[in-house]
Each structure stands twice: as C-alpha cells, then as structure tokens.
Copies of this chain bind each other. A is one copy, B any other.
C-alpha cells in the first residue's frame, strides 16, 4: 500500500505527528484483515447457530441440518467455511462425519458478544 495520504481537511484536531505515532501503534494490515475475516465468520446467523450447536456437543452434518431446519448442502457449505477458518474440526466415523469446535476461545468470545447484545437491549 502506497503511503500517499488523502488530504481530507484542515481541522488539525490531531497533529500529523500524533497521527503518525498512533499509526505505529496500530496492528499491521495483515493482522487486521485476518481479524476481520475471523469476526466475519461469526457474523452470519447460520454459522453462529452452528457454533452454538457444537458448543453443546459434536454433531454430524445431517444432525445440524435437522437442528437448524436447513438443507444439508447449505450446512455443508458453511461447515467448509468454518473449517477453513479453523473454527471447527471433524472426524470421520464410517459414513458419517462428526464436526466439533476447534478453538478454545470461541465460547469466551461468544459469551462476551452475548453480554454486549443483552446490554444494548433496544428493539434493534
């Protein structure tokens, strides 16, 4: 990324040296993109519901589909997304494949999300 900054305004509320200092304290671009990708995973109702389900116990694809009342194909697609993001892992047992959570931070992060959600108790 080239460093030619847009000249936006002259408000000068923060001097450019301070902006420069803040810039050095910010996480690097790669980390930010990975972080955003991580949160994006949890930002879909289907996927986070799957996470909640797997928080209860390991399940096979068709169990999850039945639980969520959705097609097996769409669950499979979402599980693939979760798998790539390393949020779930799987094991094969004959014909069926069991999925389970693969991140020890997930319950923690989801719990905090619930806190935030319940505090802002507005009708959306």
Taking Cβ atoms with an 8 Å cutoff, the residues of A that contact B are 1, 3-9, 11, 13-14, 16, 19, 22-23, 25-27, 31-45, 47-49, 52-53, 56-57, 59-60, 62-63, 65-67, 69-72, 86, 95-96, 98, 103, 105, 108-110, 112-118, 120, 122, 124
Given the interface contacts A53-B26, A95-B11, does A48 sit within 8 Å of B63 by beta carbon? no
Partner of A109, one of B1, B52, B109, B122: B109
Given the interface contacts A32-B45, A67-B23, does A14 sit within 8 Å of B59 by beta carbon? yes
Q: Are B116 and A109 in contact (CB under 8 A)?
A: yes
| Chain B residues whose C-beta falls within 8 Å of the C-beta of A71 in the assembled complex | 6, 8
| Chain B residues whose C-beta falls within 8 Å of the C-beta of A96 in the assembled complex | 11, 13
| Chain B residues whose C-beta falls within 8 Å of the C-beta of A33 in the assembled complex | 45
